[in-house]
């Protein structure tokens, strides 16, 4: 199946499921919420794919063709190399996400995602296109140095985005199942902590796929310590701040109170 169609199917699955089995009352979200996030998602799908082709895909193909990079120089089982590549891509993504929260310039763009007051599957689409561009540039360094294969990059893209749709979704999961899943991957309950309106809680749980990066690097906040059910950023609660065109220009506003979020 085409990778784009597979991701669309995964998104639509969670989009439908959260209407049948919601964790939070769907009526609490604004009328424009889903529409705004989907508009941003369409821009990111079109421009993001072009950016990836011109950056990550181009570099990976070039390095593979010339047998450059660590994994092109060592002899290991193909499946073992693929597993290591996936793990290192996930670590790279964790590192990037942590930088987004701790460098004010980057935080300006990432807060387009964090000003969302109601979490559901469409929240997974709500990223500023410049954040996506910068993220691709950041990933070029480890991808090039390690010689990560195009197969691993494409596979991880599906795994990552599929899980991002999952852990942003507004689905109610039985507690026992969530406890089991959250030992390995990021679940909706764990990621909601990351979207807390409280600064300390939002500056934790950076992992997007495998949860153990947060545990290794001591940025993990368990569900039992989650003290609020409010999401977003203080000062950005008015509906005007949730509109499509405002979100596009938000990072460039001089009075950007969201860059501190304390």
Mean pLDDT, the chain, as a whole number? 90
CB distance 115 to 242 below 8 Å: yes
Dihedral, 78, 83, 85, 90 alpha carbons, nearest 10: 170
> 3-state DSSP call for residue 210?
strand
Q: How far apart are CA 64 and CA 67, in angstroms?
A: 5
Task: Name, in order, each residue with C-beta under 8 angstroms of 249's C-beta and a sequence gap of 6 or more.
Answer: none
Is the pLDDT assigned to residue 260 strictly greater than 60? Answer: no
Checking phi first, is residue 242 left (phi over 0); if not, alpha (psi -120 to 50) or beta? alpha
Least confident window among 14-23, 25-34, 79-88: 25-34
More confident residue, 72 or 214: 214
Q: What is the pLDDT of residue 30?
A: 76
Residues in the chain: 262
pLDDT of 138-184, one tens digit each?
A: 999 899 899 999 899 999 999 999 999 999 999 999 988 988 999 99
pLDDT of 53-105, one tens digit each?
A: 888 888 888 888 888 888 888 888 889 999 999 999 999 999 999 999 999 99
Q: How far apart are CA 31 and CA 15, in angstroms?
A: 16
pLDDT band at residue 258 under the 50/70/90 scheme:
very low
Dihedral, 114, 125, 51, 82 alpha carbons, nearest 10: 100
Q: What is the pLDDT of residue 91?
A: 98
Is the pLDDT assigned to residue 121 strictly greater than 60? Answer: yes
Q: What is the pLDDT of residue 95?
A: 98
Is the pLDDT assigned to residue 197 strictly greater than 70? Answer: yes
pLDDT band at residue 216 under the 50/70/90 scheme:
very high
Q: Single out the residue of 225, 223, 196, 191 nearest to residue 121, CA to CA.
A: 191
């Amino acid at each position: 199946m085409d990778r784009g169609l597979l991701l669309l199917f995964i998104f639509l699955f969670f989009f439908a499921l959260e209407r049948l089995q919601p964790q939070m009352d769907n009526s609490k979200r604004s009328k424009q919420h889903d529409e705004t996030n989907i508009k941003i998602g369409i821009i990111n799908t079109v421009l993001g794919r072009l950016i990836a082709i011109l950056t990550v895909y181009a570099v990976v193909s070039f390095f593979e063709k010339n047998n450059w990079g660590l994994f092109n120089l060592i002899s290991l089982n193909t499946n073992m190399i693929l597993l290591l590549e996936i793990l290192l891509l996930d670590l790279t993504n964790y590192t990037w996400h942590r930088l987004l929260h701790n460098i004010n310039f980057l935080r300006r763009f990432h807060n387009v995602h964090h000003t969302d007051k109601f979490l559901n599957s469409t929240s997974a689409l709500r990223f500023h296109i410049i954040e996506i561009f910068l993220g691709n540039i950041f990933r070029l360094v480890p991808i090039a140095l390690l010689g990560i294969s195009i197969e691993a990059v494409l596979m991880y893209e599906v795994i990552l985005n599929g899980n991002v749709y999952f852990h942003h979704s507004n689905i109610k999961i039985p507690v026992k199942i969530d406890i089991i899943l959250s030992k390995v991957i990021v679940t909706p309950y764990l990621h909601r902590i990351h979207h807390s309106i409280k600064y300390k809680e939002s500056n934790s749980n950076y992992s997007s796929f495998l949860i153990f990066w947060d545990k290794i690097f001591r940025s993990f906040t368990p569900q039992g310590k989650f003290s609020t059910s409010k999401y977003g950023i203080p000062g950005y609660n008015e509906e005007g701040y949730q509109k499509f065109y405002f979100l596009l220009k938000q990072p460039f506003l001089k009075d950007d109170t969201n860059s501190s979020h304390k």
